[in-house]
Amino acid sequence: MSNSIDNGSEKMAAGPPVLSVAEMAKLDTVPWYKKKNLRMLYLIIFPTCIGVEMTSGFDSSMMNGLQAVDSWDAFYHSPRSVLLGLMSAMYSAGAIVALPFVPLVTDGLGRRRAIFLGSVIMIIGAIIQTAAQNFAMFVIARFILGLGIPFAIVAASSLLGELGHPKERAYLGSLFNSCYFIGSIIAAGVTLGTFKMPSNWGWRIPSLLQALPSGLQIAFVFFLPESPRWLISRGRGDEAMAILVKYHAEGDVNSELAKAEYVQIETTLALEKETAKVGWTDLLKTAGMRRRLLIGAFVGLVTQWSGNGLTAYLLPQILKTIGITDNHTKNLINLALTLWNFVNATYLALTVSRYKRRTMYLACTFSLLVVFTGWTIASARYAIDHSQGASRAVIAFIFLYSPCYNLAFNALTYTFLVELFPFHVRAKGISIFQVFSRAAGFFNQFVNPIGVANAGWKYYISYCIFLLFEVIFVYFLFPETSGKSLEELAFLYEGDEIKEQQKRVEKEIRDVEHRDDVSNEKQG
């Protein structure tokens, strides 16, 4: 009898169970568009963070379109194979060179300043590209554009996850990549409108407009609040709390969600500092970090080596291999494909994040394997008998490929990466992803023109083999990260640390509640 009384007393003393931030967020049923402050935050986030990927989308679609612009083709003496590959690949080469410095700026100066710096560099590159007088100047401009893009991408993707409300965080991360296709649509539309211009402005106008997304980021980025997590890590807790209260609680200083978020962020950062010296070697020092690094590197490779590089930078040459040689038709297909990409990518970005991450990655890789195999077979049939049916089948598979790729590699990539890496290595983790992505992109952009020119449809077989490997890797090594806050995922592979974090968070929240109760009693 006495034992049961003692147990009951202990439970009473412990208080009611503390809800996690993710659970608290689910209790909030008011949609974001009915919240004045949060609505304003998301409106500013669109051009400054989500819109960053418009630059990459513009670049790939522009390079596709320029190959069907007569004035560009004549000015650069019909670049093909190695020269065309070099032109495309220099964008990724610039990014690779910049990436070691990206975490230093993103973690040292803050997310907003990193976006600003990257945008300034890209505007300089776009101006030089527009004014290019020869092949070398055009290539250097593309290298400078590449230098700027990783600063903006790493900082913006981190800021989306760290600033967004817990309910919408996954959606924001998913929309980040779908904006790639807004840039693609603009570039495809512009090159369709300029490809008949007899002067060099037929290609200089698209080059100049590549600066537009970066201009938007420069104009609006300092209207955006800084990451609360970054502020707390710099000892600026009052500013961080003010941001959480304003945007996640609509100004309610007594909000339990804002208090719980602050406590969870502060506690997790303190625990991370206890368990890690924040350096590059931290990514290799524990089994959990090594697994994160392996998965981040893999995601970087597969976002480029799943066949998407063929349509992203080489669509006119792919169409030529199936008998489509008219420039107007090539530009129309490029525009249609980018429009279709945007529609399905946006729809998937708004829906896929509701489901389990690992399941979506499995569905993505398996469907890509099936579709790309069909694409390869249809291309082989056309090479044998030049039938119109096989040509149309290739086009159909290219359009089918789009939603299969966007299902996870577009809709979930940055959402998943932000969830995978804890705060103290997040910028470094996403930078590692970018290193492998850009290196794979450089390889693709340089090698694909040579491979397609020399091997034709047989070159596609290598992608089929790699896609099979992707399915196996995802099945055995991908973790599940959905349904939890970033702080709850900070120790995804570290069981002891997450238990300690949960205990500290619960204690801190109870202490906060106790102080509030005492304060209210005194005021009463």
- For the record, the structure tokens of 191 come out as 């090159």
pLDDT in tens, 56-105: 888 888 887 888 788 888 898 888 777 887 888 888 889 889 988 988 89
Count Cβ atoms within 10 A of the Cβ of residue 34 and give its class: 0-12 exposed, 13-18 middle, 19 or more buried. exposed
User: Of 7-11, 158-162, 247-251, 312-316, which range is least confident?
Assistant: 7-11
The pLDDT, as a whole number, for residue 499 is 58
pLDDT in tens, 182-201: 888 888 888 888 888 888 99
- For the record, the structure tokens of 485 come out as 């806050």
pLDDT at 287 over 60: yes
* pLDDT, average across residues 18-33: 78
pTM: 0.73
With b meaning 16 or more CB within 10 Å and e meaning fewer, what string describes 211-244? bbbbebbbebbeebbbbbbbbbbeeeeeebbbbb
Sign of the Cα torsion 16, 249, 113, 119 reads positive
The pLDDT, as a whole number, for residue 98 is 92
pLDDT in tens, 145-163: 999 999 999 899 889 888 9
The pLDDT, as a whole number, for residue 513 is 56
pLDDT at 252 over 80: yes
The DSSP letter of residue 17 is: P
The pLDDT, as a whole number, for residue 451 is 84
The answer for residues whose C-beta is within 8 angstroms of residue 445's C-beta and 6 or more apart is 85, 88, 89, 91, 92, 309, 313
pLDDT at 352 over 80: yes
The pLDDT, as a whole number, for residue 11 is 34
Average pLDDT over all residues of the chain: 84
The pLDDT, as a whole number, for residue 500 is 60
Which is higher by pLDDT, 413 or 22? Answer: 413
